[in-house]
């Protein structure tokens, strides 16, 4: 049902344009069927937040079995089970993606305190070194349980150097209880599903993340989403806050195994320009132009506008993604 949330919004806003709504509904439904096709489910269980499944998607180039974690039609992580590849982060968390780049870049600065909103299969644990501390902020206890069960995924249990903490609950509330000014890197990775938690992408929410960072700390917003443009509201929020930001859209390679990496869009922010200095030296990151899109706030969210931009790929969005 969450797959149809954007369509339900459209139904109200374009209720007098039946053909347009029907086309939107059909496109979203077919997209869901295409993404969920052909998986061999090894495990399935329903929690309060929906159905979690673990599938096996064998790939000889990754040594055979590859376990995939899915919530509805959304991939939340994958892990090769062959010992040669099991501690190599995959999909959005591969070393070449913006998320992998951020973890590596911040790690070069020294011991890091890292917070990750959205635990998934636990792939971010592969970046945790002995001298680092890492905490996941996860709303679904089932996700924590599955990602810590070596039968399904072993990133947390076998690949991290040292313990990994998980704080359960709504990340906006649980993060607010952390010590301000204490994090080197925050990864906000909760927006790729069909039901976007918009309260985590408002001006007020992003200001909260920035408050948790050290002066040169970095927050990365993972903005990959197949149904909605959430990039422009995030850019608008950064600009409304007057904070420096950089954008990157990474395209996966055609030559890598299917689960090895995924195309990834991200925006990084810091309380100070110094926090982004080393990222600015990397030509893959670019400063977004001023946007006329209205930022989301706790009192204003425009999902219809996001759906519209995603469907028709506006010139502003094209310009940002072609940098």
195: tokens are 């039901």
**Burial class for 288, CB neighbours closer than 10 Å (0-12, 13-18, 19+):** buried
What is the C-alpha to C-alpha distance for residues 120 and 136, in angstroms, rounded to an integer?
Answer: 10
pLDDT at 10 over 70: no
Give the whole-angstrom CA distance, residue 24 versus residue 34: 15
For the ranges 94-103, 214-223, 271-280, 311-320, the lowest mean pLDDT is seen at: 311-320
Comparing CA positions, the residue from 71, 64, 126 lying closest to residue 93 is: 126
- This prediction has a pTM of 0.87
Residue-wise burial string across 74-92, b where 16 or more C-beta atoms lie within 10 A, e elsewhere: bbbbbbbbeeebbbbbbbb
Confidence tier at 26 by pLDDT (50, 70, 90): low
DSSP state of 135: E
Q: Where are the domains of the chain?
A: 1-35, 88-321
Give the mean model confidence (pLDDT) for residues 213-220. Answer: 98
The CATH number, out of the four listed (3.40.50.720, 3.40.50.150, 1.10.760.10, 3.30.300.30), of the domain defined by the range 88-321: 3.40.50.150
Range 58-64 average pLDDT: 96
Give the Cα separation of 109 and 141 in Å (integer): 33
pLDDT band at 23 (very low <50, low <70, confident <90, very high): low
CB 44 within 8 A of CB 51: yes
């Amino acid at each position: 049902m969450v797959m149809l949330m954007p369509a339900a919004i459209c139904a109200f806003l374009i209720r007098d344009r039946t053909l347009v709504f029907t086309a939107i509904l059909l496109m979203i439904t077919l997209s869901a069927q295409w993404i969920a096709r052909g998986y061999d489910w090894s495990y399935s269980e329903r929690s309060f937040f929906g159905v979690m499944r673990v599938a096996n998607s064998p790939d000889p180039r990754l040594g055979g079995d590859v376990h995939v974690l899915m919530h509805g039609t959304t991939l939340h992580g994958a892990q090769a089970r062959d010992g040669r590849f099991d501690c190599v982060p995959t999909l959005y968390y591969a070393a070449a993606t913006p998320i992998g780049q951020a973890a590596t870049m911040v790690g070069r600065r020294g011991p890091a305190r890292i917070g990750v909103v959205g635990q998934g299969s636990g792939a971010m644990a592969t970046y945790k070194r002995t001298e680092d501390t890492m905490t996941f902020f996860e709303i679904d206890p089932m996700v924590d349980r599955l990602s810590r069960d070596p039968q399904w995924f072993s990133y947390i249990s076998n690949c991290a150097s040292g313990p990994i903490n998980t704080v359960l609950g709504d990340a906006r509330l649980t993060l607010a209880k952390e010590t301000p000014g204490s994090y080197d890197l925050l990864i906000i990775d909760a927006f790729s599903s069909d039901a976007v938690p918009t309260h985590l992408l408002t001006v007020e929410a992003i200001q909260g993340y920035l408050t948790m960072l050290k002066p040169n700390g970095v927050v990365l917003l993972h903005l990959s989403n197949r149904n909605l443009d959430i990039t422009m509201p995030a850019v608008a929020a950064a600009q409304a806050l007057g904070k420096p930001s950089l954008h990157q859209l990474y395209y996966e390679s055609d030559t890598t195994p299917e689960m090895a990496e995924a195309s990834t869009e991200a925006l990084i922010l810091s309380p100070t320009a110094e926090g982004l200095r080393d990222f600015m030296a990397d030509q893959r990151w670019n400063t977004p132009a001023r946007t006329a899109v209205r930022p989301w706030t706790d009192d204003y969210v425009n999902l219809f506008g996001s759906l519209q931009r995603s469907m028709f790929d506006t010139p502003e969005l094209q310009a940002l993604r072609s940098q």
